[in-house]
Structure formats: structure tokens, C-alpha cells
Amino acid sequence: MSAHDLVEQAVAAATAAGATSADAMLLEDDGITVLVRDGRSERVEEHCSRGLGVRAYRGTRLGLAYTNDLSPEAVAETARRAEALAEVAAEDEFAGLPDADHIGVFDGDLDGADAAAGEWSSDTWIDVAKRCEIAAREDSRITMSEGARAGGGRRRMLLANSNGLLAERNHSTCYTAMGVFATGDSGERQRDNWSSMAAHFSDLQAAEEVGREAARRAIRRCGYRKPKSGAFPVIFSPEVARDLAGTLAQAVSGGAVFRRATFLADSLGEQIGSDLLTLVDDPTLPRHVGSRGFDGEGVRSRRTVLVDGGRLESWLADSYAARRLDVAPTGNASRSFDSPPGVAPSNLVLMPGESDASELIGDVQEGLYVTELFGMGVNLASGAWSRGAGGLWIEKGELTHAVQELTIAGDLPSMLKGITAVASDLHWHGRSAAPTLRIDGLTIAS
């Protein structure tokens, strides 16, 4: 039985068992990853995963079941189990398949799959990883390699529902990542890493560049000091500005809003940040990792401006959150075969501004250029934000020495309003992009 037949059979089996509506999703995921360390391939892993999930409704009561046994008997049994479980759920007026007028596929070529992805082999990735590691070790201050990882694969998703939908998505992704240790003048040892991810091999950052950037980052950490504690301006490098963009996307996610689990729950239409802050979700950008013609429920993809000049314009919503919040779904149902849909961004872009990144640093008398955030100290409900951090100290507009073992803390409402400059240097990594930006009013502790 073909994969298309299988998802349609699953829907048919659910409705035959008594479901008033149903959908079924099949995921196929194939790929290879390698790890090269000290010039030798240390690990080679091949993966090939399949999974099928069925959502069955009895009226507005929802049951779910899944399997990775794709025999027609197991798929039919899975559909029957989903239907039987609907009995356990309560009536929920907001539950159900997306409305027909939202179903569809974005009209445009997203070019989400590399035509050569089927020929990617372990040798392809061993070559990439070896070149990456050699470049990373060019500088004699790099004293140890953690290994270069590279890999890629293809992913296909099929979705069918009882309103006649049958749609297919095809993607490829590939990545290169390098971790290195540098040894400083005083014998101190520092580790850092860099990586690149893309849908097409030719869009991947060159293996050598990934290696050299990892080395540059590890070397610049040497000679670190602990900074002073206190309130200082903080310049976020693009890689940590992306972290903030991701937090903001979670805070405007429809699921968090109807659960009252976000500090922005009552702020739609209000000015929530500086007029320099614009955040966009865009699944329609050609050749990007998060691009897609429709979401995990079959809702047509579209570009959504979430925050425009600091004003909160839209929630991110799947069809359930959209009904609860009385808005249109934005095509952000994210779903794997083994769980119900949740809300997640596609490609998330914190839009660039006009200034040069160097000007942002040049304008700071004394402050922090943060290049690393870690830990989980974000409370979306209260807006409390307290993170481990590392970076470089700025004095008189110049980057001076590395700083580590510090925290940066603030609260998200003030941070969003405290964005006082946004640079023009938009950097992409995987599904998100952000430029350098400046936030005033944060507290540094060490």
C-alpha cells in the first residue's frame, strides 16, 4: 500500500469506527550523521523513522493514537483506538478539524528540498566534517577538537482528513557543527562551537568557515574576567538576539495565551515594546528550513506580523487556539505523529534596523556584548528573565576582554521596551534570524 493510501485508509478506518471527523499524518525521516574527530570518522549513524498518528473526533471529543508499524492491519487498529479514546475526552466546543476556508497550500515554489538529498551519503558528510575540523585547527591556540559533526536527510509528511484533504510536504535539512578547545596564555582552557543549518547543501555555510568561526569564538574567550555587578547597557549579538525572539514567539503563542501562561495574555493591540521591535513569522520564504506550504493540520501557510513597531498585532495560532481566542488560525500548528498539534513558529524573523552593528558597540561607554546565554531562567507567566551569560566587555566603545560566570536579569516587559537600537546585520541560523540589538535596563551580576 502506498503512503498516500495508508493515510487515507487510516481516516476511513476512523470514520468507519464511528468518528464524525478525523485526520491522519504520516512522517518519514531519513538521514545520516557523522562525527569526525582528529581526522577520523568516529561515529557514523543512519536513521530511517516512520510514524503515523490519527486524530479522531466524536463530535467535539478528541482521541489520538499512533504507531510506527505501518502494516495496513496496525494502521486500521490505530485508527480504531483513536476513535475509542474519544469517549474519554470531554465535549469541547473549540475542538475539531480546521474550517474548510483555511485549508490549502501556499501558492508559490518554496524549494524546500535539495534535489540531491537522495544521494547524500556518509562519505559526503565525512568529507564536510574533515574539512571543517582541519580549518578549525589552523590556529595553534586551538589545542583540542571536540569533533566536527555533519549530516543531512529528507523528511516527508503526508496529511489526510475526512473533509477530503490529502496533502504532502517534502523537506531536506543539512548541518555542519564544530566544537573546539582553545588554550590561553595562562594555560586556561576554553571551549566554544559554531554551526550552520540549511535546507539546501549549497546554502550551508562553507565547512571551513564553520570551523574557523568555532576557533575564533573559543580563542576570544581566553583571558576572561568576571565583570562588575550593576546596571549596564547590553548589546545582544545576533545569535543571542535569536534566543530573545524565540522567547517572544512563545509569549505570543495562542496556547500560552488561552492558558493565561504569558505576561502578554491581555496585550493584543497594545504597545508592548520599543518602536524598533518588529517580529515576523514567515513560512513562505523560499529555501528556508522552516518553510512549508501548509501546517500540521493542513492550514494554508501565510506570513504573519506578530509585533509591528512595538505593537502586538497577532497571536500565533493553530485552529484550536484560534477558536478559543476568536481569531483566524495563522498556520502555526506544529505536530509530530505521536502528539496532538501545538503552536510553534515556522521561520521567525526579528527584523533588522538601520544602524551598523559596530555603531551599537561604539556608542557604549561601558557595558556588555553578550554572545552566549544559557539555562532556563525564563518565566513567561510573570515575565521574570534571569540567565547565565558570557561575552565581551565594552569600554569606551571598544570590545576589550572576555567575561564569564555572570548572569543578566530583567523582566521581559521592560526589556522589550528597553530595546534602544537595532542593527542592520540580520543573521540566519536554521529557522530563525535576528540582528544585533541593544537593551538598556538589565542587571549584570557576577
Partner 1 sequence: MTPRSPLRHFDQEFVGRALAEALSRGGDYADVFFEETSESKLTLEDSKIRSASIGSVAGIGVRVLAGDRTGYAYTEQPTPEAVLHAARTAASIADDNRDVAPISVAPGSPRDLYRAEVPLIGATPKERVVFLERADAAARAVDPRIQKVTVSLTEEVRAVAVASSDGVLVEDVQPMIMFRVGCIAEDGSIRTRGTSGDGARRGLELLDGDAPERIGRLAGEQAVRNLTAKSAPAGSFPVVLGNAYSGVLLHEAVGHGLEADFNHKGFSRYSGQIGERVASELVTVIDDGTIASERGSINVDDEGNTSGSSVLIENGILRGYLHDKLSARIMNVAATGNGRRESYSCMPMPRMTNTFMPGGPHTAEEIIASVDRGVYAVQFGGGQVEIGKGDFVFAATEAYLIEDGKVTAPLRDVTLIGNGPEVMSKVTMAGNDYRISEGMWTCGKDGQSVPVGVGMPTVKISSITVGGTA
- Within 303-332, the residues that bind partner 1 by CB under 8 A are none
Nearest distance from C-beta of residue 185 to partner 1, angstroms: 16
Out of 19, 26, 27, 63, the residue judged to bind partner 1 by CB under 8 A: 63
- Which residue is listed with cell 522589550? 416
Contact between 1 and partner 1 per CB under 8 A: no
Contact between 28 and partner 1 per CB under 8 A: no
354-373 binders of partner 1 (CB under 8 A): none
Contact between 96 and partner 1 per CB under 8 A: no
Contact between 398 and partner 1 per CB under 8 A: no
Contact between 340 and partner 1 per CB under 8 A: yes
Contact between 136 and partner 1 per CB under 8 A: no
Read off the DSSP letter of residue 301.
Answer: P
Cell numbers representing residue 309 in the block:
513597531
Residues 6+ apart with CB under 8 A from 250: 256, 262, 380
Here's the x/- map for partner 1, 411-430, by CB under 8 A: it reads as x-------------------
Nearest distance from C-beta of residue 90 to partner 1, angstroms: 4
Out of 190, 274, 319, 355, the residue judged to bind partner 1 by CB under 8 A: 190
Q: Which lies closer to partner 1 via its Cβ, residue 101 or residue 119?
A: 119
Size of the site for partner 1 (CB under 8 A): 74
Do 316 and 334 form a contact (C-beta atoms < 8 A)?
no
**Span from 86-94, 295-303, 352-360, 430-438 in contact with partner 1 (CB under 8 A):** 86-94
**Span from 1-9, 67-75, 280-288, 308-316 in contact with partner 1 (CB under 8 A):** 67-75
Exposure of 339 by Cβ count < 10 A (0-12 exposed, 13-18 middle, 19+ buried)? exposed
Residues 6+ apart with CB under 8 A from 160: 4, 7, 8, 10, 11, 23, 24, 166, 167
Q: Which lies closer to partner 1 via its Cβ, residue 53 or residue 310?
A: 53
Out of 27, 76, 86, 240, the residue judged to bind partner 1 by CB under 8 A: 86
Out of 3, 15, 59, 92, the residue judged to bind partner 1 by CB under 8 A: 92
Nearest distance from C-beta of residue 121 to partner 1, angstroms: 11
Q: Which lies closer to partner 1 via its Cβ, residue 184 or residue 309?
A: 184
Rounded to 5 degrees, φ, ψ at 34 are -130, 155
CB-side neighbour CA atoms (13 Å) of 189: 6
Q: Which lies closer to partner 1 via its Cβ, residue 160 or residue 265?
A: 265
Nearest to 239 by CA among 276, 194, 175, 197: 194
Here's the x/- map for partner 1, 249-288, by CB under 8 A: it reads as ----------xxx-x-x-----------------------
Out of 410, 423, 431, 438, the residue judged to bind partner 1 by CB under 8 A: 410
Q: Which lies closer to partner 1 via its Cβ, residue 4 or residue 189?
A: 189
Q: Which lies closer to partner 1 via its Cβ, residue 350 or residue 415?
A: 415
Contact between 142 and partner 1 per CB under 8 A: no
Tell me how many helices (H) and strands (E) the chain has.
9, 20
Nearest to 169 by CA among 281, 45, 335, 21: 335
Q: Would you tell me the crossing angle of helices 207-220 and 122-136 to the nearest 10 degrees?
A: 40
Contact between 404 and partner 1 per CB under 8 A: yes
**Dist CA 306 CA 316 (whole Å):** 8
Residues 6+ apart with CB under 8 A from 204: 174, 175, 176, 196, 197, 198
Exposure of 375 by Cβ count < 10 A (0-12 exposed, 13-18 middle, 19+ buried)? exposed
Out of 45, 111, 356, 395, the residue judged to bind partner 1 by CB under 8 A: 45
Using the CB atoms, write b or e for 77-97: b if 16+ within 10 Å: ebbbbbbbbbeeeeeeeebbb
Read off the DSSP letter of residue 201.
Answer: G
